[in-house]
Amino acid sequence: MAEAPLVEAWNVIPAMLEATHVGHAWLVGFIALLAVLGISALPLPAVTAWRTSFVLPGILIFAYSRSAMSHAGTQGWVQAAVWVDMAHLLLVSLWSGAVFIAGFAALAHAIGPSAVARLDALRWIRALSKTATWTLAGIVATGILNALRGLGAVEPLFRSPYGNALLVKVVLVGVAALLGGFNRFRVMPRLLLALQVAHDKVDEPRRTFLLVLRVEAPVLLAALVAAGVMSASAPPGTG
């Protein structure tokens, strides 16, 4: 907060955690994150109702704490701006996570010839497409609200570090959306059709689908970096 090295700021960190809004929010988020990591590390099946019932609230609490610590929480924890920022953070995380998992794990290997493997891949690709579509719509809506709160006018978009970082982020999200749209409308129909026909080869459309995902992933990562730059810049609309 003081733009000082950690060693110099070490003596005041306990006081900040004890007496400031940012410190309280950080503690709540840190405890929630530890709980999520601890539950996820337990030697249980990958997906259980018990695990989800604890992990999901922990993730929501962590996301809310991050938004409460951000520019959106300058007027307090219980503000509409905090909820909007939290929704934006969760949606961006969901979109980015889905693309990374699909591009480097779920679809990274050849789809088996069995009917079960093809059906599983078909359902997974459809779920990925629906998730990306709805999350993008939510990201645009919450992003506009965040921009209106942070900028306050159009001029700072071009004349402030916060506005410049926002422009870069918007361009990167737009590029990622175009890549996702190409997959959705040009590649995915051929891939789904091939998966539904027992003897059709799916390697070519799968490789194209995978390539686009792997190009989209670093673009989204760069957008997250731009968002980090924004969080470290003073929003002109709140100055």
Same domain, 9 and 107: no
Same domain, 87 and 154: yes
Boundary of a domain, candidates 24, 48, 69: 69
Same domain, 181 and 84: yes
Q: Which pLDDT tens digit goes with each residue over 104-125?
A: 998 888 888 888 888 999 999 9
Give residue 200's pLDDT.
67
Span of 16-20, 48-52, 212-216 with lowest mean pLDDT: 48-52
The sign of the torsion formed by the CA atoms of 117, 120, 122, 128 equals negative
Q: What is the DSSP letter of 214?
A: H
Give residue 163's pLDDT.
87
Same domain, 165 and 55: no
Give residue 172's pLDDT.
95
Give residue 70's pLDDT.
85
Give residue 135's pLDDT band: very low, low, confident or very high (50, 70, 90).
very high
- For 95-109, give the DSSP string: HHHHHHHIIIIITSS
Same domain, 91 and 188: yes
Q: Which pLDDT tens digit goes with each residue over 27-76?
A: 999 999 999 998 888 876 656 777 778 889 999 999 999 999 888 887 77
Same domain, 64 and 82: no
Same domain, 46 and 154: no
Q: 67-84 burial by CB neighbour count: b if 16+ within 10 A, else e? A: bbbbbbbeeeeeeebbeb
Boundary of a domain, candidates 69, 89, 120: 69
Over residues 126-149, mean pLDDT: 93
pLDDT at residue 81 tops 60: yes
Q: What domain count does the chain have? A: 2
Give residue 160's pLDDT band: very low, low, confident or very high (50, 70, 90).
confident
pLDDT at residue 173 tops 90: yes
Give residue 7's pLDDT.
79
| Helix, strand and coil percent figures for the chain, each rounded to 5 | 80, 0, 20
Same domain, 104 and 156: yes
Whether the predicted model's global pTM rises above the 0.85 cut: yes
Same domain, 5 and 39: yes
Span of 89-93, 137-141, 196-200, 209-213 with lowest mean pLDDT: 196-200
Same domain, 57 and 83: no
Boundary of a domain, candidates 36, 69, 102: 69
Same domain, 8 and 83: no
Same domain, 60 and 90: no
Q: In terms of residue numbers, what domain contains 29? A: 1-69
